[in-house]
Amino acid sequence: RDKWSKKMDFLLSVIGFAVDLGNVWRFPYICYQNGGGAFLIPYTLMAVFGGVPLFYMELALGQFHRTGAIPIWKRICPIFKGIGFAICIIGLYVSFYYNTIIAWALYYFYSSFSGTLPWASCDNPWNTPDCTNYFGRSNVTWTNFSRSPAEEFYTRKVLEIQKSGGLYDIGGIHWQLLLCLFLIFTIVYFSLWKGVKTSGKVVWVTATLPYAVLLILLVRGATLPGAWRGVVFYLRPDWGKLLNTAVWVDAAAQIFFSLGPGFGVLLALASYNHFHNNCYRDALVTSAVNCLTSFLSGFVIF
Residues of each annotated binding site for Na(+) = 16, 18-19, 23, 258, 290
At 8, which amino acid appears?
M
Measure the CA–CA gap between 285 and 57, rounded to whole angstroms.
14
Under DSSP, the state recorded for 190 is H
- Dihedral of alpha carbons 269, 273, 279, 284, sign: negative
Kindly compute the dihedral angle of the four CA atoms of residues 135, 137, 139, 142, in this order, to the nearest 10 degrees.
-20
Instruction: Please give the annotated binding residues, written as ranges.
Output: 16, 18-19, 23, 258, 290
Residue 48 near residue 292, CB atoms below 8 Å: no
Cα gap 114→3, rounded to integer Å: 45
Instruction: State the first-to-last Cα distance of the chain, in angstroms, to the nearest integer.
Output: 45
Using CA atoms, how far apart are residues 62 and 1, in angstroms rounded to an integer?
Answer: 12
